[in-house]
Amino acid sequence: MVLQFKPQGIYCPAGDFYIDPWRPVDRALITHGHADHARPGHSRYLATDIAVPVMRHRLGDIAIDSITYGEDRQIGGAKVSFHPAGHIPGSAQIRVEVGGEVWVVSGDYKTTPDAISTPFEPVTCHSFITECTFGLPVFEWPDEADVAREINDWWAANAANGQFSLLGAYSLGKAQRVLSMLDASIGPILTHGAVAATNDILREQGFDLPATRRVTPELVPKDHPGAMVIAPPGAMGSDWARRFKPAATGFASGWMRLRGVRRRRTVDRGFVVSDHADWTGLNTAIKATGAENIYATHGYTDIFARWLKSEGYNAEALTTEFTGESASGAAEDGE
C-alpha cells in the first residue's frame, strides 16, 4: 500500500513520512493549521507556504519547510504534491505517488468557493482518504450570499435595538470567512484576541479583511455601540463575553443546520456556515477523483462508508483522531 494506517497516523513507507499524524514523528506533512491536524512535537514539518505563518504562530519555533500548490517534491521513493482543499487559507489535499499508484489525503475540504480560501481542486487518484464531517443527506449548505444577508440583517436589527451582536466562530478560517461576509457600514467590528491574532497573520500575507479592533481589557464596550463582536466558541458565555450588554448571540457552524444543536448551543440565532463539504460536495468530490478505493475519516464514517459501498466503491471507515467541526462546540482550531 502507498499509505498505511498506524497508531501514529497515516504513514507512507516509501517516503518515511506521516500525513497529519496525531503522535510525534520525525517527518510530518500537514494539510492545514487546525489543531487536530497540525500538532506539536514533530521533528520536521512540511505545509503550504500559505499555511506556514499561522502554524508557526500556533506551534512556536518548529522546523518547517514550505511547498506551493501543485509543486512536485520527491521524498524518498514517493512523489508528493499539495493541492487546494478550499477549507481554510493554505489548506491542502496531499497527493502521494509511488510506482505509478496515486493516493490522495483530503484533510478537511469544502467544494464551494469563498472569499478567503483557494478553491478546491479535485485530484485524480486510485485511493482517496476523505473526511465526512457532514456525511448525511440532511447537510446541504445554503448559498453564501443568502447567509451573508441573514447575518447582516441580524446585525443591523440588533444595532438598531441598542444591542451588541456576539457571534461565535472558530478563530482560524471561520472567523475570517464571516468577516468577509460582513457589511462593515453597519457598525464597528470587534474581535477576541485569538481571532485578532489570526487576522493579523493573514493580513500580513495579503488577505483582504475588513477593519477590526481587538478587544483588550482597556476597551470600553459602550464606546462601540451596535458592534459586531466575533469570538471563538470557548469565549461565548464567559466573563469576557458578558462585558457586552445587552447582546444578541449567534453561532456560525454547519451544525446550525440541525435544530437540536441550535437549541443546545443556547444562542439566539444559528447561521449555517461551514468550512467542510456538505453531502453533495462530498459525493461530487469523490466522484471527481475517479478513485475506486475510498477511506472515510472523522464524521459519519460508518454510515458514509455504507453509502459509498452501495454506490459501487470499495469503501472503508477509518478510526482517526481528527475531530472536524464539533457539534458540541469543542474547538477544532485549538482556541
327 phi, psi to nearest 5 deg: -70, -25
Q: Which residue has the higher pLDDT, 44 or 265?
A: 44
If you average pLDDT over every residue of the chain, what do you get? 95
User: For the sheet containing 164-168, what is the strand order?
Assistant: 213-214, 189-191, 228-231, 164-168, 247-252, 269-271
Does the pLDDT value for residue 334 go beyond 60? no
Answer yes or no: pTM beyond 0.75.
yes
Q: Range with the lowest mean pLDDT among 41-45, 138-142, 317-321?
A: 317-321
Q: Which residue segments constitute the domains of the chain, with CATH numbers given?
A: 4-138+275-317 (3.60.15.10), 144-271 (3.40.50.10890)
Separation CA 77–CA 17 (nearest Å): 11
The pLDDT confidence band at residue 77, using thresholds 50, 70 and 90, is very high
Percent of the chain scoring above 70 in pLDDT: 96
Q: What is the DSSP-derived secondary structure letter of residue 332?
A: T
pLDDT for 333 equals: 44
Return the sign of the alpha-carbon dihedral for residues 85, 88, 90, 96. negative
Separation CA 53–CA 64 (nearest Å): 10
Q: Range with the lowest mean pLDDT among 194-198, 234-238, 292-296?
A: 234-238
List, for residues 214-245, the tens digit of each pLDDT value: 999 999 999 999 999 999 999 998 999 999 99
Judged by DSSP in three states, 79 sits in strand
List, for residues 256-274, the tens digit of each pLDDT value: 999 877 677 778 999 999 9
The pLDDT confidence band at residue 327, using thresholds 50, 70 and 90, is low
Task: List Cα–Cα distances, 245 to 87, 150, 192, 252, 322, in angstroms.
Answer: 33, 22, 16, 20, 36
List, for residues 147-193, the tens digit of each pLDDT value: 999 999 999 999 999 999 999 999 999 999 999 999 999 999 999 99
Q: Assign residue 93 a region (left: φ > 0; alpha: ψ between -120 and 50; beta: otherwise).
A: beta
The pLDDT confidence band at residue 335, using thresholds 50, 70 and 90, is very low
The pLDDT confidence band at residue 328, using thresholds 50, 70 and 90, is low
Percent of the chain scoring above 90 in pLDDT: 92
Return the axis-axis angle of helices 174-181 and 193-204, rounded to nearest 10°: 80
Residue 69 burial class via C-beta count within 10 angstroms: exposed 0-12, middle 13-18, buried 19 and up:
middle
The pLDDT confidence band at residue 142, using thresholds 50, 70 and 90, is very high
Give Cα 171 distance to the centre of its chain. Answer: 10
pLDDT for 319 equals: 86
